[in-house]
């Protein structure tokens, strides 16, 4: 079972915001990309889109797409998988778990963060290893998408997680996943810009983001009040710049995970590190084969 068979996507030149009350039951959500809005439906709804355009003459329909849900997710079947004792599974799949498993139910809808992408897997592997040696209580997850990293932190012991995304559809999806897992008391999902929220105090900052966003964030002093940082979503050719900017903010790189062209960096601020803390487990993560990811067949 999958959440949708076919996706009907309407690309609009202009922002669509706050209009969900006017949308049909087949409505999935709105994704922002630059100045464009992509409206997702599970069935064709030309009539609803036309009513939106009629209400706001500044909006224009650029294109419409019909796509199989599996193709939208890169042709991969969404399935259960493990990272350490974290067990992720979609709500439509029955999975056998043990008492020791930390179970996360994840409905990705059409949002990034299924756990299939290399960068997501590597961030999850890094989180698992950090929480074996420390327990960051306050976490900021920038670009939360489905909320997968925020949920992992909460299951591993974080008490206050701020999950941030600028896209209405990502916020809607993450909120639903937080409710599915009963983590409303530990995770707060908000819509906002990473630039405005990254400077808040936290023990751990996670950012699986486009390189342009990471580069812009690191030009500001966002890590002075952080102990740990996990950054991913950039390529090998961009790694040197990211490392240099992290070091200028007092962050020591403990782990670099290479997965194809992608890079994930784990660092910490020695000035905020408790005496006697060993990081040997983190330094051992050097290849995808050590990420701890295992699909469930």
Minimum mean pLDDT among 51-65, 68-82, 99-113, 251-265: which range? 68-82
What number is the average pLDDT over the span 152-179?
Answer: 96
Q: Which residues is 228 bridged to in the sheet?
A: 204, 268
Question: 166 with 289, same domain?
Answer: yes
Domain stop point among 23, 49, 72: 72
Calpha distance 20→30 (Å, rounded): 9
Q: For position 33, what pLDDT does the model report? A: 86
Q: Which residues is 187 bridged to in the sheet?
A: 161
**What pLDDT band is residue 22 in, cutting at 50, 70 and 90?**
low
Kindly report the backbone phi and psi dihedral angles of residue 216, in degrees, each rounded to the nearest multiple of 5, phi listed first: -70, -40
Q: Which residues is 295 bridged to in the sheet?
A: 81
Q: What is the value of pTM for the model shown?
A: 0.88
Q: For position 34, what pLDDT does the model report? A: 84
Question: 225 with 109, same domain?
Answer: yes
**What pLDDT band is residue 178 in, cutting at 50, 70 and 90?**
very high
Count CB-CB contacts under 10 A for residue 44.
Answer: 14
**pLDDT for residue 286 is more than 50:** no
What number is the average pLDDT over the span 57-70?
Answer: 93
Residue % of the chain over a pLDDT of 90? 70
Q: Pairing state of beta strands 160-165 and 187-191?
A: parallel
Minimum mean pLDDT among 27-31, 62-66, 123-127, 137-141: which range? 27-31
Domain that holds residue 32: 6-72
Taking the CA atoms of the chain, what radius of gyration do you get in angstroms? Answer: 20
In-domain check, residue 273: yes
- We report the CATH number of the domain holding residue 59 as 3.30.70
Residue % of the chain over a pLDDT of 70? 89
In-domain check, residue 1: no
In-domain check, residue 46: yes
Count CB-CB contacts under 10 A for residue 210.
Answer: 12
Kindly report the backbone phi and psi dihedral angles of residue 226, in degrees, each rounded to the nearest multiple of 5, phi listed first: -120, 145
Domain stop point among 29, 49, 72: 72
Question: 101 with 48, same domain?
Answer: no
**pLDDT for residue 134 is more than 80:** yes
Through-space distance between the first and last CA atoms of the chain, rounded to whole angstroms: 15
């Amino acid at each position: 079972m999958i959440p949708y068979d076919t996706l009907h996507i309407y690309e609009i030149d202009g922002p669509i915001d706050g209009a969900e009350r006017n949308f049909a039951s087949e409505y999935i959500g709105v994704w922002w990309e630059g100045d464009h809005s992509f409206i997702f439906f599970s069935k064709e709804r030309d009539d609803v889109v036309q009513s939106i355009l009629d209400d706001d003459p500044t909006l224009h329909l650029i294109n419409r797409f019909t796509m199989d849900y599996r193709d939208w997710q890169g042709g991969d079947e969404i399935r259960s998988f493990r990272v350490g004792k974290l067990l992720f599974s979609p709500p439509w799949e029955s999975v056998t778990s043990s008492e020791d498993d930390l179970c996360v139910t994840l409905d990705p809808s059409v949002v990034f963060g299924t756990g299939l992408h290399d960068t997501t897997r590597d961030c999850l592997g890094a989180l698992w290893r950090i929480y074996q040696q420390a327990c960051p209580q306050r976490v900021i997850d920038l670009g939360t998408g489905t909320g997968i990293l925020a949920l992992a932190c909460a299951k591993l012991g974080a008490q206050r997680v701020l999950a941030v995304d600028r896209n209405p559809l990502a916020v809607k999806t993450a909120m639903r996943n937080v409710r599915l897992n009963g983590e409303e008391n530990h995770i707060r999902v908000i819509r906002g810009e990473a630039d405005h929220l990254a400077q808040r105090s936290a023990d751990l900052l996670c950012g699986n983001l486009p390189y342009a966003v990471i580069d812009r964030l690191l030009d500001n002093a966002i890590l002075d009040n952080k102990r740990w940082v996990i950054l991913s979503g950039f390529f090998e050719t961009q790694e040197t710049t990211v490392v240099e900017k992290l070091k200028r903010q007092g962050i020591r790189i403990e782990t670099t995970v290479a997965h194809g062209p992608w890079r994930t960096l784990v660092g910490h601020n020695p000035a905020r590190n408790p005496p006697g803390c060993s990081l040997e487990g983190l330094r051992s993560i050097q290849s995808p084969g050590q990420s701890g990811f295992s699909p469930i067949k």
